[in-house]
Structure 1
Amino acid sequence: MRHKPDILKLAKEWLTPVFDAATHDAVQDMMASEPKELEESFYKNIEFGTGGIRGVMGIGNNRINKYTLAKSTQGVSNYLQQSFPNQTLKAVIAYDCRHNSNSLAKVVADVFSANGIQVYLFSGLRPTPELSFAVKKLNCQCGIVLTASHNPPEYNGYKVYWEDGGQIVPPEDRNIIDAIEKLDYSQIKFEANEDLIQYINAEIDEAFVASSIANASFDTTKEAKENLEIVFTSLHGTSITVIPDTLAQAGYSKVHIVLEQAIPDGDFPTVQSPNPEEPEALAMALALADITKADIVVGTDPDCDRLGVAVRNNEGQMILLNGNQTMILMTAFLLEEWKKAGKIDGRQFVGSTIVSTPMITKLATAYAVECKMGLTGFKWIAKMIKDFPELEFIGGGEESFGYMVGDAVRDKDAVAATLLICEIAAQAKERGSTVYKELLKLYVTHGFYKEHLISITKKGIEGLAEIHHMMVSLRENPMKKINGQRVTMVEDFQTSKVKNVLTGKEKSIYFPKADVLIYYTEDGSKICARPSGTEPKIKFYISVNVTLDIVDNFIKTEALLNDKIKNIITDMQLN
C-alpha cells in the first residue's frame, strides 16, 4: 500500500535523533507492515477538545506518548512565562490509574522543571478534583492531570487547569494551542531540574477531605448518618484514595466497598467500560447492595469526577438515576438548604449546560435564583464563577454525571457530590422518605422532565468524516417536524444564530462558537446534536416533558414520555 506523501513525511520526522531508539523501531515497524495504523497515528496532530487532550496511547503525533505530552508541556511553559512575567511560576501535577500515567506525569514534571517552573507532583494517583483544589491551595498558575476519564484502557489524556482551578477556556485554550503548534519537537527541554520538583501527598489530601466535608455537609444528624447503608465502588480508579476516608470522617460508618473493584487497575478487569453512565459498570455494586440491603449505591469513574447513583424505588428495587436526575436532586437540596439559612437574596446562581435538562432552569426560577447555561463541559461552569465574582455560586451540574458543590473545586467533583447525595439520602430516610420519593415530589412541583442520550461511535478518519456529514445534513436539510410536532426553533452554536422556524426571524446567540445544533418542537421537546470533543462519537440529547399532577400517576406518565422518546428516535433514524 502506498502512503500519502504527507503521512510518510510526518512519520520520517520521528526517525530523527530527537526521538529515542524504541520510537524509531516502532515507526519503522508501522511503515513496513501496519499502513492503517501508520496513517491513524500520523494523519493529524492530537488536538485539545472540551476536556484537553485525550487519545489512544502509542507512537505518532496523533497519539498520547511522552513526546506529544512533552511538546504540549513545553507550549504551556512558554505561555506561562509570557502570561505571568516576573513571577515565580508554579505548576501542580496529578495522575490517575491508567497505564503509563505515572511515567508520563514525570515527563511533564521534567519539562516544567527544565523551564524553571516549580513543580508539585503527587507521589501517587489522585482524583482529578483534588488536582483542581491543589492548584488554588498551592497558589499555582497551572495544573495538569494525566487521565482519560472513563475511556477504554488504551486511552490516556492531559487536562490543563489555570490559576482559578478551572480547566482552560478562551483565550487561554487557543493561545496554548498556538504556542504548542509553533514548536518543533527539537525545542522541547527534557533535562529535569530535580531541585524544582517537590512530591506532595498527605498534607493536600487532608486539606481536600476537610474542604469536601465543609462544603457538602448540611446538619445531618449523627443517627441519620449511622443509619444509612451505602455501597461504594471506585471502578478500579482513584476515588478509593479519598472517598472512603471522606465518608468516614463525615460520620458515615456503614460503607460497603466493592472490594473486587477497589484496587486501581488501568485494565479495568471487572467492567467492559469504567463509566458510571453505563448500567453494566455498577452491576457488582448493585449485587452487593442486594446482599447488604443498602439504601444507596455510588460509583465513580477512574479519575473521580463523575458519579453514578442508584437508589431504591417504591417497590424496594435498586434503580439507576441518570445524570440529570442526580443534578436535579442535588440542586434542589442545595437551594432548599440555602433558603432555610436565609442566604438567598438575588445574588446567587446555579450553573448547567445547554445539553442538560431544562428542568434545572424551572427549579432555579422557583427559588428566585439565576440559572446560567454554558456549553458542554465543566470548564464553562467554572468560568461562570470567574466571570461573575459579584454572584455566589451554589452548585452546578451537567447531564454527563458530573456535579460541583460550591467553588472550592472548579471542576466536576465526585468526592463532594458523593457526600452530598449521601446527605440527601440520610435526611430523607430519617423523615421516612427516600431519594426516589423526593425526586417524584420534584416532578410534581416543577414538571416531569425525562431525558435520553443516543451516542453513536464512529472511529478513525472515516468516522470523523461521517460525523461531519451528519452535522452538515442536519444544518443544510433541517427537519420541519419531529414526531409529528412542528419544529419551532433551531439554535446553531456554530453560526451563533437562533432561528424562529415559524416566523423566519433570526437573532444572535452570545456563546463561544461550537459544533452544536438544537431543535425545539411545539410540545416542548428538545433535541440536541453534538459531536463529542473527547471521543469519536456524535451524541443526540433528547428531552421531553409533561405535567405530573400527582405522584401516583408517575408510572403511567413516564410510559407516555418513554413512548415519545422512542418515536423521536425512530423519526430521526437514530436507532
Structure 2
Amino acid sequence: MPQSSRIDELVAEWLRYDKNPETRSEIEHLWDDGEWDELDARLGQRIEFGTAGLRAKMQAGYSSMNDLIVIQAAQGLAAHLSTLPDALKRGVVVGHDHRHNSKRWAGLTTRAFLNRGFKVYSYRGVVHTPLVPFGVKKLGAVGGVMVTASHNPAQDNGWKVYYENAVQIIPPVDSAIADAILENLEPEDEAWDCDTVREHPLCEDKTNNMRYEYHNHVAALFPPEEAADLAITHTSFHGSADLSIARAFAVTGLPPIMTVRQQRDPDPDFPTLPFPNPEEKGALSLAIDTANKNGSQYILANDPDSDRFLAAEKIDLNQWHIYTGDELGAIFASYIIEEYKRTNRPMDKMAMVASTVSSKMLGAMATAEGFHFEDTLTGFKYIGNKALELEKRGYAVELLYEEAIGFGLSPFIRDKDGITAAIAFVRLAARLNRRNTSVFAQLQLLYKKYGFFGTRNSYFKCGANDLKEKIFRGLRENDSATGYPAQLGPFEVENVRDLTEGHAFDSNQPDKKPVLPVSAGNMITFYGKAQSGEAFVMTIRTSGTEPKIKYYLEVSSKDQTTIDVKLTEAENALASDWVKTSELGL
C-alpha cells in the first residue's frame, strides 16, 4: 500500500476512535500540514504493552500516551482479568499520581472496568504507588492499575499494572494482556465518561481506609525504639511522598523531619527538576543546600511516586556522600542481619533477592552469614515474583532490591516502597548514632568484612534500533572461543552470559544454557579478572523505557585503593573498544 494511502487510513481510524478534541486536533493539524513522517511516527507503530505496562510522552497517536490508548489498554486488561476466578466480585484497585492527565486516566480506567461489571476500589486524590499493590493484597483484588510515570520527565505519563498476586506482571501474562488489548480496540459505550464514575454503585472509595491500614502495617514493621538526636531533611521531588512519610515517621516513633519546601508539594511540572530522578546528577542540589542551612546530617529523597528511595550523609564540613542503590542494598542487608542475630532467628531460613545487575556484595554477605540469596532479571516484576516463589519454599524473604534505588522491606508488599525504605534507613542511622557512629562508618566496616565493591552504572544515549543492534552484534561477533570479547581494559573475560532471545548462552553452565529466562531486549553479562587480582562483572543492556544502552560495571578487590583506577580503565575500554562511541557518533 502506498505510504500516503496507509497514513490516510490510520488518520481516519484514529479520528473514528478518538473523542478527545485536543488529541483529535493534533492529528488533524498534522494531516492538514502534510506531516507524513510525524503521522507515521505517531500512528504507524503502537506503544508496546510489556511487563512495565505503558509509559511514553503524552500526545496524540498510537505510539504515545493519551485518552484513547488508556481506554484501549483498560478494556483489554478488563477482558483478560475477567477470565480469573470471581474476578468481578473481587474487583480491581485503581490509583493515580499528580501528573497531567493522571486523574482523568484513572477515571477512564475505572469506567472500562465498571462497564464490564467489575467492582472498582478507587483511590481519590494523589497516592503513592506502593498503596496500589498494598490494596490489591489487602482487599483480595484481582488486579490493580497505577497511573504514573514514576521518575520520568514532566511530559511523560504511564499506566502500571499489578496482577492478582499484588506484583507487577511478567511473561506470559504481559503477552496475554497485550493480545486482549488488540482484541478490544473499539471504545465501548460510555468509554469516555469519566466524570460520573464515582457515583457508580460498583465504585468504592477505599482511600482513607487503605492509607490507615498501610500506616498500621508500617508501624507493625518498625515498632518504636529509643529516640536518637538526628537532624534529617527530606525531599519528595514535587511528588506524593510528603504526607505518607510524615505519617510513617509519626507511627514509628521517629521525630518530625525537615523538608525541602520548594519540592514538598505535588507539582506535575517539576519546576526545580527537569528530570525528577534522585539518581540524576545534581538532583539533590536543592536538598543539600537546605540541609546545610538547617544543620542536617542526613538527606532522604523519594522519587515523585514514592516507590524509590535515596539517601545522603554529611561526612565532612563541606562534603556529602550520596549513597548508591548498591550501597543502600548492603546497608539494609546489614540492618536485617543484625535483627536476626539480635532475636536469635535462624539465618538459613532467611532469604534476600536482588536483580542480576545489582552488586555482588549481597551474594558475598549471604555466603559469609549463611542466608539464602538469589538474583533475577532486571526489574521488580521479577524480583517480587521470585520472592513469592521463595516464600512457598519456606523462606522468610526479608530484602528485595535493585541498584536503581528500589527496595522492598515488607513481607506484605512485594514491590519497591520508598517510604518503608526511608524508615528502615533512619532506624539504622538512629541505632548507629546511639553507638556514636554513623551509616557511612558502618558501610566502611561492611567493606572490610565482606570485601570492597565499587560500581559505575551509566548509559549511552542511543535512540535508533539499528544502531543498538549494530553495537550488540559487534559484541557477539569476535574472534574468540565464545565469540564475545575476551578483554575489557585490564580485565580478561572468563565467562559470558547472554540473556537475549535468539542468543541465549552461558559459558559457565555445562550445557551453555542460562538458568535465568531470556527476554526480547539485549542483555549480556561479562565476568573476569585482572592480573593484579581484581574481579569484575559488567552487564550491558538496552533499556525498555528509554532510548539508552545501559551498563552496570562492578569491580571487587581486597585492596580498596585499586578499585577506582580499574573502574575507570574498564569504563574507558567499554566506550572506545566495545561500543566504539567515536565511530558510532554516540
Same structural fold, with TM-score higher than 0.5 when normalized by the shorter chain: yes
Which segment is superposed worse, 478-487 or 154-163? 478-487
Deviation for aligned residue 1:557: 4.4
Deviation for aligned residue 1:203: 1.7
CA distance in 1, matches of 2:358, 2:555: 12
- Is the 1:71–1:188 Cα contact (8 Å) retained in structure 2? no
What is the total number of aligned residue pairs between the two structures? 558
CA distance in 1, matches of 2:536, 2:218: 37
The residue number in structure 2 matching 1:453 is 457
The residue number in structure 1 matching 2:25 is 25
CA distance in 2, matches of 1:251, 1:114: 45
CA distance in 2, matches of 1:228, 1:202: 30
Deviation for aligned residue 1:315: 6.2
Deviation for aligned residue 1:81: 1.2
The residue number in structure 2 matching 1:498 is 506
- Is the 2:238–2:265 Cα contact (8 Å) retained in structure 1? yes
CA distance in 2, matches of 1:458, 1:133: 36
- Is the 1:50–1:377 Cα contact (8 Å) retained in structure 2? no
1:402 and 2:403 aligned? no
1:520 and 2:527 aligned? yes
The residue number in structure 2 matching 1:311 is 313
Q: 1:218 to 1:85 in 2, by over 3 A?
A: closer
- What one-letter code is carried by the residue in structure 2 that aligns with 1:547? K
Deviation for aligned residue 1:168: 1.0
CA distance in 1, matches of 2:493, 2:8: 48
Which segment is superposed worse, 173-182 or 556-565? 556-565
CA distance in 1, matches of 2:567, 2:470: 29
Q: 1:17 to 1:133 in 2, by over 3 A?
A: closer
CA distance in 2, matches of 1:17, 1:211: 44
* Residue pairs, 1:474-553, within 5 angstroms: 474-477=475-478, 478-494=484-500, 495-499=503-507, 506-514=511-519, 515-523=522-530, 524-548=535-559
The residue number in structure 2 matching 1:199 is 205
- What one-letter code is carried by the residue in structure 1 that aligns with 2:109? V
The residue number in structure 1 matching 2:16 is 16
Q: 1:241 to 1:5 in 2, by over 3 A?
A: farther
Deviation for aligned residue 1:431: 0.6
- What one-letter code is carried by the residue in structure 1 that aligns with 2:525? I
CA distance in 1, matches of 2:562, 2:316: 16
* Residue pairs, 1:77-476, within 5 angstroms: 77-84=78-85, 88-186=89-187, 190=191, 194-215=200-221, 217=222, 220-222=225-227, 224=228, 227-313=229-315, 317-388=319-390, 389=392, 390-459=394-463, 463-476=464-477
Percentage of matched positions with identical amino acids: 28
Which segment is superposed worse, 29-38 or 264-273? 29-38
1:353-377 Cα offsets, whole Å, 9 max, x none, are: 1110011111122221111111111
- Is the 1:313–1:436 Cα contact (8 Å) retained in structure 2? yes
CA distance in 2, matches of 1:539, 1:275: 16
CA distance in 1, matches of 2:63, 2:290: 41
Q: 1:4 to 1:527 in 2, by over 3 A?
A: farther
- Is the 1:312–1:436 Cα contact (8 Å) retained in structure 2? no
RMSD of the alignment, in Å? 2.2
Structure 1: gaps of 5 or more residues: 549-553
CA distance in 1, matches of 2:444, 2:189: 56
Q: 1:314 to 1:86 in 2, by over 3 A?
A: closer
Q: 1:235 to 1:21 in 2, by over 3 A?
A: closer
Deviation for aligned residue 1:21: 4.5
CA distance in 2, matches of 1:229, 1:561: 37
CA distance in 2, matches of 1:4, 1:240: 51
CA distance in 1, matches of 2:498, 2:273: 37
Q: How does the TM-score come out when normalised to structure 1?
A: 0.92
- Is the 2:383–2:400 Cα contact (8 Å) retained in structure 1? yes
- Is the 1:74–1:188 Cα contact (8 Å) retained in structure 2? no
Deviation for aligned residue 1:204: 1.1
Deviation for aligned residue 1:424: 1.2
- What one-letter code is carried by the residue in structure 2 that aligns with 1:499? S
Which segment is superposed worse, 487-496 or 473-482? 473-482
- What one-letter code is carried by the residue in structure 2 that aligns with 1:211? H
Deviation for aligned residue 1:314: 5.7
**Secondary structure at the residue paired with 2:322?**
strand
CA distance in 2, matches of 1:331, 1:468: 37
Deviation for aligned residue 1:517: 0.6
- Is the 1:346–1:369 Cα contact (8 Å) retained in structure 2? yes
- What one-letter code is carried by the residue in structure 1 that aligns with 2:79? N
CA distance in 2, matches of 1:231, 1:39: 48
Structure 2: gaps of 5 or more residues: 479-483
Which segment is superposed worse, 185-194 or 9-18? 185-194
1:18-65 Cα offsets, whole Å, 9 max, x none, are: 645444322111223344432221221111344221111111111111
- Is the 1:218–1:337 Cα contact (8 Å) retained in structure 2? no
Deviation for aligned residue 1:312: 2.3
Which segment is superposed worse, 468-477 or 364-373? 468-477
